[in-house]
Each structure stands twice: as structure tokens, then as C-alpha cells.
Amino acid sequence: MGVNNKKRRAARRRNDARRTGGSPGSRSGQRRGQQPGQAWDPIGVAFAIADPAVWTAIRLLAGRKSAESDARRHAEALERRLAGDRHVLEGAVLAAVANLVERVVDGGWGPADLAELVARSAHTRHLPTLAAMLHHDRRTQDRGVDWQAACDRVGPEARLPLSSSATLASALLVAAVLVGAPRLAAPAAQPVAVEATHPKLAKVRALLAKAESTHFDEEAEALSAKAQELITRYSLDRLLRDHASSGHDPQHVRRLWLDAPYTRAKANLVHVVAEANRCRAAFAKGHDFSVVVGSPHDLEAVELLVTSLLVQADAAMLRHARRAGGPSRTRSFRQSFLLAFAERIGERLRRAATDEVDARRDGRLVPALLDHDSRIAAAFEALVPHQAAVGPAITSAEGWSAGTVAADLAQLDMNPPLRARAREA
């Protein structure tokens, strides 16, 4: 066969392949990846390209804070690659989103915590995208009325917008945040359900709100002390009732979000408050929250106390800075201050809890506490993977000393001269 004939036949094969969509070496126009006799499915082939491309973009964005420009770049690259198959691209993104939302929900995440994670890891402007993802999941999964209400609080129901580069980039960025969400070890673990606040805890909230808004130290002290007294009394009464009826509350999980800076030092405060209130806590490094496991009413008390004590610690640091200046304004001082504050608060809370048990002289209380603690420990072991705890270093003796003094002045128990006034609140 002459050279010209070979060239003409090769050119005909290339032209045939272009007309049929096959490769130059395929037989009878058979497409690459198509089995003999198999019907050609262009949408399926496009999805087979889009799906791994979407997942690759999500994983490349995962773990990167505020990667807005990178998300836009990946979105535009996907649009160019699938220019003629926009509906296939949107379908691949929706499929990835559905998979990720189901995984994080099974990993113990609720709508409110996911909203906090997205706001901190990306930006609050991406919350409508998260809300659309959660509502998309809710339309396919029946998670109950409380879950729907929690989704509504994140954002109103709407379809996930993917029609532009900006909305596609937002979806990729939120999906990347979900990829990095740390899961609890037990997939069945769920966050605390929305429930009516007990009247006593409602009064505690009101007392703490007054304590934080007043300009009079004496009044704030009385109100904070009354709040702590109500928390302890309510918790022990509830524990005795549950133990007597054998109707133990299931163990729940709550995430307490901590504001930067010094989140690891603040996590120490969460740990000691949780321990004193019959709960267990673990800090999620890199995500600015502590996971707390316990009974619902104890978790409520832990959150109330941590919030109030952090307010007191911040106020004490500011007062010390105004008086002393110098080292009190450094990062080393403030971190050491918070560590000392948490250490001494833990001592005071444990002593107060022991005093309350002794004062009751109720033989039922000790076995009830032992049973409760064993169940909490077992639930914590099952839910939270254990890692070696490495706390921040204490690098300022002045900060440690000042934090210890501030903890001694923090309002935890009743001051006898103010007891009558507090009871009037």
C-alpha cells in the first residue's frame, strides 16, 4: 500500500471519529468507555466527568479559611470544563451536598452548630447557601418538626442557587467546610433537641442577664450568686428524681463555641465547669469549640455558667489592664490569667458541689451521683475520640497571680450579708 493511500485512510478514520464522537481507533464509531452493544448515554458520561471534578474542587478547598478567591477559581474552571452541560454540573454539586449533609448530621451536627461553623470558617454571607442545603436535605429526609424549625432559624426555605459563578463558588466553599467538620465517634449521636426551658433555668437566665447589665458590683454579686444557687438546687433535685424512677435522661451532646483569642485557655474553663456539673468536655483543636456530654439540664447549666464566667474574666482582665498597664496588656499575661482563672474556678466549683451534697445529708444522693457519673463517662468514651490533651503554656507569673485573684472574686456562692437581697430578685 502506497504512502498516500495510508494517509487517505487515516484521514477518513479521523473524520468518522469526529462525526460519531468516538476515538480514531474505535470500531464503528464506538465511544471511549462504551461496551459493544451498549446504548450511548451522553448525560451519564458528562456526570462521570462532573462528579469527580466537583469532589476534587471541594477537597482542595477543605481546611482553608476564607478561601473565597480559590472557590471562585474552582467554580469558573468547572463551568469551562462543563460549558455545555450546566444542568449536569448542578446535579453533581447537589449530589455532593446531599452526601455531605447526611454525613455531618450522622456525625452529631445540628443546624445551629453548622451555621456557627460556616460563619466562623467562611463568612456569614454563606449562611443562605447552608440554609438551602439543609432544606434540600430535609425534603428528602424526615428529621422531625424540631429539625425543620432549627433549619428555618438558619435561613428561609429556598432552592440551592447554582446559576452563576458566585453562587456555585459559595456552594463549593460551604461543602468544603462540611468536609472538615469533625465527627463524633458514634454516628447515632444527636445534638440536644430544642425543648421548653424549665422555669428555674429561665429565672437563672434572667438573673444572669441582670447581673451582666447592672453597673453596681454589689447587685451583680447578689444576682450571680442567686443564679448559681438555683442551678445547683435544680440539678440535684432532678438527679434524685431520675434515679428514683430509673427514668434516666439519655446523654446528649452540646458544642460550646469560644471566641478568639485564647480559645485553648478558655476551653480549660469549659472543662472545669463541665466536670463540676457532672458533664465531660473535650476541646476540638482548630475549630474553636468544646464538645460537652451530659444530661440536658446539666448541659444547660454548664453553658449558662461558662458564658457568665467568661464575661467576668474578660471584665477582670480589662480592669487589671487599666490599673496596671505594662505586662497586663500582653498575650502571655492574658493567656496565663485565663488559665489561672479556670484552675481556681474549678477548685471553687468542686468544693461548692461537695458542700451542697454534704448539706443535704440524703443517703440517696451518693449512689445517684455515682450511677450518673458512670453513665456520663461511658457515653463520653463512646462519643468523643480520646486524644492526649496538651494545654497552652503558662508564660506569665503576673498573669497567673492576677487570674487567681480574679477567680477568687468571681461570683459563685451566696454572700451572707446579701442573701436576703438576692432572694428578692
The residue ranges of DSSP E strands in 285-364, in sequence order, are: 289-294
**37-71 pLDDT, tens per residue?**
445 466 777 888 899 999 999 999 986 665 789 99
Percent of the chain's residues with pLDDT above 70: 65
Q: How open is the CA angle 375-377-383, to the nearest 5 degrees?
A: 100
**How far apart (Å, rounded) are the C-alpha atoms in residues 305 and 201?**
11
**Residue 399: CA atoms inside 13 Å, Cβ hemisphere, count?**
24
What per-residue confidence (pLDDT) applies to 40?
47
- Residue 155 banded pLDDT, cuts 50, 70, 90: very high
What pLDDT is attached to residue 218?
Answer: 59
pLDDT for position 23 = 40
The residue written with cell numbers 427514668 in the block is 247
pLDDT for residue 108 is more than 60: yes
Whether the predicted pLDDT of 347 surpasses 90: no
Choose between 82 and 363: higher pLDDT.
82
What is the structure's pLDDT at 339?
86
- Asked if pLDDT for residue 251 goes beyond 80, the answer is no
pLDDT at 392 over 70: no
Report CA-CA distances (Å) from 180 to 175, 286, 306: 9, 10, 26
Span 182-205, average pLDDT: 61
Residue 233, pLDDT score: 73
Per-residue pLDDT reduced to its tens digit, 289-312:
999 998 888 888 888 889 888 887
Lowest mean pLDDT, pick from 77-86, 174-183, 316-325: 316-325
Q: Is the pLDDT of residue 389 over 60?
A: no
Length of the chain: 425
pLDDT given at position 29: 43
**Cβ neighbours, 10 Å, residue 290:** 25
Is pLDDT of 143 > 90? no
Q: What is residue 280's three-state secondary structure?
A: strand
For the record, the C-alpha cell of 289 comes out as: 469549640
CA count, 13 A, side-chain hemisphere, 199? 0
Checking if the pLDDT of 395 tops 50, the result is no
Helix (H, G, I), strand (E, B) or coil at 28: coil
Please give the grid coordinates belonging to residue 243.
434515679
Closest CA to 115 of 197, 214, 199, 181: 181
Q: Are 42 and 87 in contact (CB under 8 A)?
A: no
pLDDT of residue 231: 75
Tell me which of 381 and 243 has the higher pLDDT. 381
**What's the pLDDT at 358?**
72
Q: Please answer whether residues 151 and 174 qualify as being in contact, where contact means their C-beta atoms are separated by less than 8 angstroms.
A: no
Please tell me the distance from the alpha carbon of residue 152 to that of residue 169, in angstroms, as a whole number.
Answer: 23
Task: Say how far apart CA 297 and CA 234 lie, in whole Å.
Answer: 9
DSSP 135-174: HHHHHHS---HHHHHHHHHH--------SSHHHHHHHHHH
* Cβ burial, residue 86 (10 Å; 0-12/13-18/19+): middle
266 or 243, greater pLDDT: 266
Mean pLDDT of the chain: 75
